Amino acid sequence: MSSTHWEPLFPHDAFSRTVMAKLDCKRRSATRPHTEIFVTYDDPKQDEKFVIKECYSKIDAITFKETMAKKFEHLMQWNHSNVIKYFGLELQQVKVLFDSKLIYRIASPYYTGGDLKMWAEKNVTPPMTGSGNHGELHVRHDAVGAFLRDLLTGLDFLHTSVKLVHCDIKPANLMLKQEGHRQVIIIDLDDAVLNDVGGEQSETDNACCTPCYAAPELIDCTALEGIAKAPPISCKTDIWSVGCVAIQLCTGAAPVVCQWQKAKDATNEWEGSYSFGKQLKTKENILYQVARLKAKPKLPDLGDDKLDQLLLSFIKSCLYFDMDSRKTAAELQIDDYFTQVN
């Protein structure tokens, strides 16, 4: 690869090739990757937007091509209503100061509904202090149930058909296909990890995870002094993040991670209490304490009605330190919460 030409990792159809060509015409002279939205006019009757994402690769070109080829071989063939559709992948080797860097760029649709982080900020109103409701949250179960059901459907597809662990499930990576609609699309799969050999992975990069949504086994414990190496990740790694997403859909804000003290002689991991005076705020503290299995996201303060309690039970079932105690995405789709919510 030269510094002036892009190498297609997959053959492009005429449609995606046109999208990429338009990026070539508008791309800045700077070599730093960026994400931009471009408009294509392949069909004069349509004005459709696409996202072109450019990123530096964290690994060398040969390894990158091998791993991305496996992932995109499936992702570009399959078409799932809750998983992003990719149109093309290209690579370029560039010089940055005295180093050589690999840049990749991906073309995908532009979803107009915003992400679930935006939805939660806009639609969830925290209870007023002294309002008489004892701080309880009022959950929009119709919307939350629809979002979580779509998320689990998409994850089940990724885990079973594509053999991928996303590793960074969070509201900002869950798009709504159109404004006013509730169809959730899982995006940002370029850092996903292949999980096609016995559920084990030796190459986990905690740079791709977001601390307050990250499962304990996702964190690279070898980088934290005094902690044994984390167990291999599996599809259930994403399930911890599903619980964190559910919390944010209830509260409107990112999960608050607090130290967790398991009760003495407890028979269940959830028999214990939070140390609310020890809320973890920095990335380093969150990673360290979660990796030591001593911190969990704070559960939302929900009401006593049946749906609230079923949702709380659903969230707890996602947030077990022990991977084996978490259910799969397929199992969670038939959770009691979804049999009751409209």
pLDDT of residue 44: 47
pLDDT average, residue stretch 36-40: 56
Report the CATH number at residue 190: 1.10.510.10
Mean pLDDT of the chain: 78
- Residue 34 sits in the same domain as residue 170: no
- Residue 205 sits in the same domain as residue 314: yes
Q: What are phi and psi of 135, to 5 degrees?
A: 80, 10
pLDDT of residue 28: 43
- For the stretch 256-309, pLDDT in tens is 998 888 888 888 889 888 886 667 777 778 877 887 888 899 999 998 899 999
Confidence band for 125, pLDDT divided at 50, 70 and 90 = confident
Per the structure block, which two tokens stand in for 161?
Answer: 């058909």
- Residue 207 sits in the same domain as residue 89: no
Q: How far apart are CA 180 and CA 182, in angstroms?
A: 7
- Residue 216 sits in the same domain as residue 313: yes
Confidence band for 122, pLDDT divided at 50, 70 and 90 = very high
Confidence band for 206, pLDDT divided at 50, 70 and 90 = very low
pLDDT of residue 320: 94
Final residue before a domain boundary, out of 78, 109, 140? 109
Listed residue (301, 323, 194, 181) closest to 251, CA to CA: 301
Residue 31 has pLDDT above 50, yes or no: no
- Residue 39 sits in the same domain as residue 63: yes
Location of structure tokens 């799932």:
80
Contact 175, 82 (CB under 8 A): no
The single-letter code of the amino acid at 13 is D
| 45 CB-near residues (< 8 Å, 6+ apart) | none
- Residue 103 sits in the same domain as residue 128: no
**Domain housing 50:** 7-109
1 falls within a domain: no
- Residue 208 sits in the same domain as residue 124: yes
- For the stretch 46-72, pLDDT in tens is 556 777 777 777 767 777 777 777 777
Contact 286, 257 (CB under 8 A): yes
Per the structure block, which two tokens stand in for 235?
Answer: 């599809």
75 falls within a domain: yes
Per the structure block, which two tokens stand in for 284?
Answer: 């380093």
72 falls within a domain: yes
pLDDT of residue 72: 76
- Residue 215 sits in the same domain as residue 336: yes
Report the CATH number at residue 47: 3.30.200.20
Q: Provide DSSP, 223-279.
A: GSTT-PPPPPP-THHHHHHHHHHHHHHHHSSPPPEEEEEEPTT-SSTTSEEEEEEEE
- Residue 91 sits in the same domain as residue 219: no
- For the stretch 80-115, pLDDT in tens is 999 998 877 777 777 766 667 777 878 788 888 999
pLDDT of residue 205: 47
- Residue 70 sits in the same domain as residue 211: no
Final residue before a domain boundary, out of 73, 91, 109? 109
- Residue 147 sits in the same domain as residue 23: no
The total of structural domains in the chain comes to: 2
127 falls within a domain: yes
Final residue before a domain boundary, out of 91, 109, 127? 109
137 falls within a domain: yes
